[in-house]
């Protein structure tokens, strides 16, 4: 706990830019010299004193609301995000949050104040499953928007084109960001453990398929293993930390993975 060495932004509080004064802004941050020149109120913005800027990118698409038993993937992602935000702020790191499906639905810029945790928890509490997943364009747009290097934490079931997803992740790496990918899956999505004739409905498109799971179970499991192994191998090749999490597992694995990564980054 506490500050660490960092290859990123220094620890001093530095002036960043001006913005228009608004209700709730502290008067002591008004630039009076600029007011004298323009007759308008502007507030000085400063870079926060922080070791690391972290960004939680959470997939809230409809497929994330699936739950065969117990906790849904989206609820699991929400709890994980809350725990990570708590750890980050305890280490005086800045943390931001982005909720997305086919579009970015909410974005909270990173801050390191302890009170910022309430802002993030409040937004996480309002999560509503969105429409279809469209991960890659979201990643590319976010990579262009984030100007300062930091830690990107993507939390998703990755039910989209894997090559396109990796293209978006590589964009972050090209920009100098460190990346952790938490791949969230339900146990039943790995096993297809159904015994009776079953109607399957796509939660995002509504497409339906009736089949005998016993006839396709072996091929399905093989394809799921290939999918997960492919993502893991691609992440390894691009120096991205990958961890598959199943919703019946405790969060210890994910939190430990983050702490290991944070130690590598901060020293």
Q: What is the DSSP annotation of 206-267?
A: --EEEE-HHHHHHHHHHHHHHHHHHHHHHHHHTT-EEEEEETTS-THHHHHHHHHHHHHHH-
Q: What is the DSSP annotation of 3-54?
A: ----SSS-SS--EEEEEE--TT--GGGB-HHHHHHHSS-EEEEE----S-EE
Q: Over the chain, what is the mean pLDDT?
A: 87
Reply yes or no on whether the pLDDT at 8 is more than 60: no
Reply yes or no on whether the pLDDT at 7 is more than 80: no
Q: What is the DSSP letter of 70?
A: S
**What would the pLDDT profile of 163-185 be if each residue is shown by its tens digit?**
999 999 999 999 999 999 999 99
Coil, helix or strand at residue 184: strand
**Which tokens hold the place of 219?**
């091929």
The pLDDT confidence band at residue 206, using thresholds 50, 70 and 90, is confident
**What would the pLDDT profile of 106-152 be if each residue is shown by its tens digit?**
999 999 999 999 999 999 999 988 888 889 999 999 999 998 899 99
Contact 188, 250 (CB under 8 A): no
Neighbouring residues of 27: CB distance < 8 A, sequence distance ≥ 6: none
Distance, CA of 162 to CA of 164 (rounded, Å)? 5
Give the chain's domains with CATH numbers: 53-266 (3.40.50.410)
Mean pLDDT of 184-199: 90
């Amino acid at each position: 706990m506490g500050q660490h060495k960092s290859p990123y932004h220094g620890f001093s509080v530095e002036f960043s830019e001006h913005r228009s004064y608004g209700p709730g802004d502290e008067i002591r941050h008004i630039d009076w010299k600029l007011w004298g020149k323009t007759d308008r109120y502007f507030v000085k913005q400063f870079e926060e004193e922080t070791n690391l800027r972290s960004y939680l990118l959470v997939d809230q698409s409809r497929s994330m609301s699936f739950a065969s038993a117990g906790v849904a993937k989206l609820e699991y992602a929400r709890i994980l995000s809350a725990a990570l935000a708590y750890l980050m702020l305890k280490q005086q790191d800045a943390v931001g949050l982005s909720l997305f499906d086919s579009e970015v639905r909410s974005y909270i810029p990173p801050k390191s104040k302890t009170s910022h945790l309430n802002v993030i928890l409040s937004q996480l509490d309002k999560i509503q499953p969105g429409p279809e997943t469209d991960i890659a364009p979201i990643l590319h747009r976010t990579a262009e928007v984030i100007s300062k290097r930091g830690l990107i934490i993507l939390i998703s079931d990755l039910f989209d084109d894997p090559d396109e997803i990796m293209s978006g992740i590589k964009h972050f790496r090209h920009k100098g960001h460190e990346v952790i990918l938490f791949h969230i899956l339900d146990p039943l999505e790995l096993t297809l453990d159904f015994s009776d004739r079953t109607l399957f409905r796509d939660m995002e498109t509504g497409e339906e398929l009736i089949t005998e799971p016993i006839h396709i179970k072996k091929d399905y499991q093989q394809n799921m293993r290939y999918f997960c192994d492919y993502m893991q191998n691609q992440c390894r090749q691009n120096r991205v930390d990958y961890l598959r999490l199943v919703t019946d597992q405790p969060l210890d694995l994910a939190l430990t993975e983050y702490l290991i990564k944070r130690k590598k980054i901060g020293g």
